[in-house]
Amino acid sequence: MIAPAKPDLVTVNIDGQEIAVPKGTNVIEAARLVNVDVPHYCYHPKLSVVGNCRMCLIEMGMPAVDPATKAPIMDPATGKQKINWIPRPQIGCGTNVSPGLHVKTTSPMVKDAREGVMEFLLINHPLDCPICDQAGECKLQEQATGYGRGYSRFVEQKNVKPKRTQLGPRVTLDDERCILCSRCIRFSKEIAKDDVLGFVDRGSYSTLTCYPGKKLENNYSLNTVDICPVGALTSTDFRFKMRVWFLKQTNAIDTESSVGANTVVWSREGTIYRITPRRNDEVNDTWLADSARVLYKVVKAADRLAATETIEALVARAAALFKSAPGAIAVVGSGRSTLEEHFLTRHLANALKASAQLVSRVGQGDKLLISADRNPNVRGALVTGLIKTLPTQQLTDLAAQIDAGKIKVVVAINEDLSAAGLTAAQLAKVAIVYLGAHANATSAAAKVVFPTLTVFEKSGTLVNQQFRIQKTLKAVPAAAGATDDLVVLSLLVAAAGGATLPAELASLWKVIAAEVPALATMSFANLPETGLVLDATPFAALPFVEGETLHYKPAQPAVAAATA
């Protein structure tokens, strides 16, 4: 995957446009660079090339040379070198560029070939677009419109195949819609390393099947639904829920681990319907774990907190608690908070003269898109200076200080203190100010509870394991009775006697850029879609827990990997 520093460039001519592309590029990718669309089904940039759909047929030719002398043969009519066109179409996906390659994607032969392929693909394809989930984002639909003949000559009976096979707990297969591109088979084999899918039977009876007795149940099974060019593989969760063209797309980040996979959140009228991956070749390619796709369910969870008092009343009560115990306050932040929240939390801790700490969450990494560190933004806390060392899983120090009576007030931000090892007795001994979206033992024991937002209801940035700072945007409006974490934090900073800090991202980023040298040149608005990699050298000595994942190699042998 590591590109050579200076790739050898090859000049090719696509529909009359000259372009220099790296050696090894295929015709589909080269054409994409000159904005020429070569329609395809089976080809996927992140999977092996099989060339079985034949949709990407193109006409190609090479400059003519004299066989004996190798001297170029000139065309007297144009004065340019003659092109020897191959009299048969070639597949674009399986043809790598070579110097001087000429490609035609709009010639009559190519048009004929595409119409022929489309006609064969549609022979046994059912006409159930009106009830098909893929409608609106279906390659077959788009390319039938773009490159098909427009009417059917087929008068025979269509094949009947299984209509609703459960391939696994999350994927439902409609075999009649399948065009046998084999993307899902290659994905399962090459990326998910769970080779359970295959084609059985022969000819027009070919059927995609999971091996009898096995299931497509790996944590990446829903990627097969994403890459299916037609509506054959559908998500059991999303099936028949919503037409895709009604949905609003919001770019976000997967918060289940420090990989920070890029996602698109699809919502309508304040309700999220699904989460799909967004291509980022440096982070997640085009993949996303299944577990990341159900995270949106926290937005409408039954245990969401809602305010019963005004925010001013809550802040006043928190301020009274802060005044009651000067010097005996602890702040527990969360590795799930955004970088902006970490920044304000640091200000809050400074204003309260309190120590700040996070709670670490460590799980088993899957070597693909889930890392061992299940907090998405521990590095954001390091960058903003909220913490200096890596968090621990248990708050034993804090527990000891509470027992010793040194801590009287704890500000807990989105962290359940009992899950982090504090006993009910210890929780009862202190006054807790809790900021969080969902009810838990800490919110139940807290004196003041600020209901805040889930990651889908707010914008911000997260710093992933590569120290890549990435934007996640607000997909749906805040739940009733919940306040943006940034608003709550800036009010608390002011109540604790700190500076007046803006809660709005654009203005807050001016303060962040001024105070955090690593982020000095950035603003929220101009952060690129694929993120920016920050300098990790100040933190090189820290023993991060992540093992190897896609596009990430730990700098030093990881602790979790060694003990696993």
Residues interacting with other proteins, by CB under 8 A? 189, 195-202, 209-212, 214
CA angle 93, 95, 101 (to 5 degrees): 130
Amino acid at 54: R
Helix axes 485-495, 339-352, angle to 10 degrees: 20
- Beta strands of 319-425 (E only): which ranges? 329-332, 355-357, 409-413
Distance (Å) of CA 465 to CA 189, 295, 369, 378, 545:
27, 20, 11, 9, 10
Of 130 and 203, the one with the shorter C-beta distance to other proteins is 203
Of 199 and 246, the one with the shorter C-beta distance to other proteins is 199
Of 97 and 197, the one with the shorter C-beta distance to other proteins is 197
CA angle 449, 452, 458 (to 5 degrees): 170
Instruction: Please report how many Cα atoms fall inside a 13 Å half-sphere around the Cα of residue 156, on the Cβ side.
Output: 8
Distance in Å, CB of 190 to other proteins, minimum: 13
Report the 10 Å Cβ neighbour count for 357.
22
Helix/strand/coil for 84: strand
Of 194 and 237, the one with the shorter C-beta distance to other proteins is 194
Of 185 and 435, the one with the shorter C-beta distance to other proteins is 185
Helix/strand/coil for 523: coil
Of 218 and 250, the one with the shorter C-beta distance to other proteins is 218
Q: How far apart are CA 320 and CA 297, in angstroms?
A: 35
Find out whether 487 and 502 touch, Cβ atoms under 8 Å. no
Distance in Å, CB of 198 to other proteins, minimum: 4
Find out whether 289 and 369 touch, Cβ atoms under 8 Å. yes
Q: Are strands 431-436 and 409-413 parallel, antiparallel or unpaired?
A: parallel
Distance in Å, CB of 219 to other proteins, minimum: 18
Distance in Å, CB of 159 to other proteins, minimum: 16
Of 153 and 202, the one with the shorter C-beta distance to other proteins is 202
Distance in Å, CB of 168 to other proteins, minimum: 14
Distance in Å, CB of 216 to other proteins, minimum: 11
Distance in Å, CB of 185 to other proteins, minimum: 8
Of 181 and 445, the one with the shorter C-beta distance to other proteins is 181
Distance in Å, CB of 237 to other proteins, minimum: 25
532: part of which helix (H) or strand (E)?
strand 532-533
Q: How far apart are CA 208 and CA 256, in angstroms?
A: 32
Distance in Å, CB of 232 to other proteins, minimum: 17
Find out whether 159 and 124 touch, Cβ atoms under 8 Å. yes
Q: How far apart are CA 514 and CA 319, in angstroms?
A: 27
Of 58 and 197, the one with the shorter C-beta distance to other proteins is 197
Q: Which two tokens stand for residue 62?
A: 């090479």
Of 179 and 378, the one with the shorter C-beta distance to other proteins is 179
Distance in Å, CB of 50 to other proteins, minimum: 14
Alpha helices in 124-205 (DSSP H): 139-147, 183-190
Helix/strand/coil for 310: coil
Distance in Å, CB of 213 to other proteins, minimum: 9
Of 96 and 209, the one with the shorter C-beta distance to other proteins is 209
Q: How far apart are CA 414 and CA 428, in angstroms?
A: 18
